[in-house]
Amino acid sequence: MPELPEVETIRNELAPWVVGQSFTKVSILDAKLVCGCSAEEVHRGLIRQKVESLERRGKYLIFRLSNGRSLIIHLRMTGSLLLDPDEDTRYARAVFHLSNGHRFVFNDRRRLGKMWLVDDAETVVCKLGPEPLDKRHTASVLRERLSRHHIPIKAALLDQCIVAGIGNMYADEALFAARIHPLRKADELSPAEVRTLHNDIRRILRAAICSKGASVDTYVRPEGELGTAHFNFKVAHKGGEPCPVCGNPIERIAVQNRGTYFCPRCQPSGRVPSI
């Protein structure tokens, strides 16, 4: 699934092509893509509207339009936005033509992605937690939000209402860096552990954005290139491989039905005493 670094990369690379341009033609090829209204309403609502800005909130892309409305896209598991693909894509669900002659295609093999056209973007993203890279999202804020939840810390990091944008891969990487077992309870982490986790989340997400995201499955950037963030992964998707720190085999367990990778030696199930 595209997570915060992948969605931010898409935003960064698509924005120069779409911001300031108007929609000249919109083809919704899969009506199930659209939430809250019909495909025809989306078509009528976008034609001749200019994209004033392209923003990201959590894992959502928000196209702010000249009439004050917003087109919102969530790529879910296998969605991608492809700029001027050379040929028709097999899994295209929508095609957007722009006034500069370019087009971008919502491609989605598993048809799980969603799209909204709304008067107020907050109606879609209002339940999201704070952005992990926002300067206002301090370690104290993270600790306060985690303290409300007696659930595994891995599950808490995946809960978009607690903190927005973190997904499976980067939760595993952050917990490994912070030496926290994924089944530790979120409300039982010490202040020092939360500070370390907070710093590692920010560092890992920033590095992944610099590497243009992780292409471990279907994720590609708008012009078809791959991201390289996965080359820096220590545990994510590395079950059975030796831990890069201690050499112990990386284990895989399920946390709320999500595959979770960790090192049982570097991430003990109990709290690590402060040194």
Mind telling me the catalytic residues?
2-3, 59, 258
* C-alpha to C-alpha distance for 215 and 34, rounded to whole angstroms: 26
User: Strands (DSSP E) along the chain, which ranges?
Assistant: 23-28, 34-35, 51-57, 60-65, 70-74, 79-83, 92-98, 103-108, 114-118, 251-255, 258-262
First and final CA of the chain: distance in angstroms?
A: 37
* C-alpha to C-alpha distance for 91 and 211, rounded to whole angstroms: 26
- CA atoms within a 13 Å half-sphere pointing along the CA-CB vector of 145: 21
Q: Are strands 79-83 and 103-108 parallel, antiparallel or unpaired?
A: antiparallel
Edge-to-edge, what's the strand order for the sheet holding 114-118? 34-35, 114-118, 70-74, 60-65, 51-57
* C-alpha to C-alpha distance for 165 and 149, rounded to whole angstroms: 18
Ramachandran area for residue 48 (φ above 0: left; ψ -120 to 50: alpha; else beta):
left
Collapsing DSSP states into helix, strand and coil, what is residue 26? strand
Contact 109, 84 (CB under 8 A): no
